[in-house]
Homo-oligomer: A and B are copies of this chain.
Amino acid sequence: MTIAEVGKEYGLTADTLRYYERIGLLPPVARNKSGNREYTEADCRWVHFIKCMRNAGLSIEVLIEYVGLFQQGDASVAARKDLLLEQRKQIVEKIEELQGTLAYLGKKIDGYEDHMLKIEENLKKFDAQTTPEEE
């Protein structure tokens, strides 16, 4: 696959893909005879992984570390697993925090509902005083 195709597939621009590769966030992608990147399925799986992890809020820094570990081969398997475990923990915490915020927001929204009901009531009273009955 070409860089444009991969970009389209995963919702990244060609610029971003090249940028990620340049900074080591993606392992180097092999080139065809004209020097253009030719993404294999394995490359695409990397792109997918990186996209997912970025969306989940993992920093570029920690992902570069992960890619670096990967490139060291089997010796780094335990370190890679630990890194992922730590990041998973942080995502779990993030979810819990978001659920707390959700509860807080819910209360705030309920407050607005009450407020709006009261305003409506006042309007009705005002209507009753100032406009003739309609039926």
Contact = CB atoms under 8 A, between A and B. Distances in A.
Interface of A: 49, 52-53, 55-56, 74, 77-78, 80-81, 84-85, 87-88, 91-92, 94-95, 97-99, 101-102, 104-106, 108-109, 112-113, 115-116, 119
Nearest to A97: B55
A113 B81 contact: yes
Contact of A56 (B52, B81, B101): B101
Contacts of A109: 81, 84-85, 88
A87 B116 CA distance: 19
Nearest to A104: B52
A94 B105 CA distance: 15
A67 to B, nearest CB: 14
Contacts of A84: 105, 108-109, 112
Contacts of A108: 49, 84
A88 B102 contact: yes
A55 B98 CA distance: 8
A90 B99 CA distance: 12
Nearest to A82: B112
A76 to B, nearest CB: 10
8 contacts: A55-B97, A55-B101, A74-B115, A78-B116, A80-B112, A81-B113, A91-B105, A95-B95
